[in-house]
């Protein structure tokens, strides 16, 4: 009996990580009368591009899609439902912290005043 051997496919590794995005579906008009209006579903866009959506209704099913384009094509209903991506607060706070850690009020002030003026001399002493 011969065994069929298939070549192994190399796995794609996601090295960056932590790029998952959170979103919700905001519906302005409910054509079907099932899901309502406002925030009707929430979801995640994973690092590999796959998307999971769950409905905030009596029927809280979870569906996985290959990409966010599929979610938009199926659920946008001609613009009556919008995909709203939540801000990445953790990343924003990290960027803000990095800015503050590298910020010098003296350097910022010196860049704005005449270099030979009294204010520049006063700032340079401190």
Domain residue spans in the chain? 21-86, 91-125
Reduce the DSSP state of residue 51 to 3 states and report it.
Answer: strand
Owner of token pair 């099932």: 34
The tens-digit pLDDT sequence of the chain (126 residues) is 455 555 555 454 444 556 788 999 998 877 776 667 789 999 999 989 999 999 888 888 899 999 999 999 988 877 788 999 888 777 778 777 887 888 888 787 778 888 888 877 787 775
CB atoms within 10 A of CB 71: 22
CA distance 24 to 117: 55
DSSP annotation of 8 reads: P
CA distance 50 to 29: 27
* Burial of 100 from C-beta contacts in 10 A (0-12 / 13-18 / 19+): exposed
Query: Are 22 and 42 a contacting pair, CB within 8 Å?
Result: yes
CA distances from 75 to 6, 7, 9, 35 (A): 38, 38, 33, 11
């Amino acid at each position: 009996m011969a065994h069929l051997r298939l070549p192994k496919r190399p796995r794609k590794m996601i090295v960056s990580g932590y790029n998952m995005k959170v979103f919700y579906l905001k519906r302005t008009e409910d054509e079907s009368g099932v899901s309502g209006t406002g925030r009707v579903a929430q979801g995640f866009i994973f690092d590999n591009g796959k998307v999971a959506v769950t409905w905030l209704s009596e029927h809280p099913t979870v569906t996985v899609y290959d990409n966010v384009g599929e979610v938009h094509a199926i659920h946008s209903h001609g613009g009556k439902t919008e995909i709203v991506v939540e801000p990445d607060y953790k990343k924003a706070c990290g960027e803000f912290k990095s800015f503050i850690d590298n910020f010098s009020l003296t350097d910022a002030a010196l860049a704005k005043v005449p270099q030979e003026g009294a204010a520049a001399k006063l700032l340079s002493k401190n």
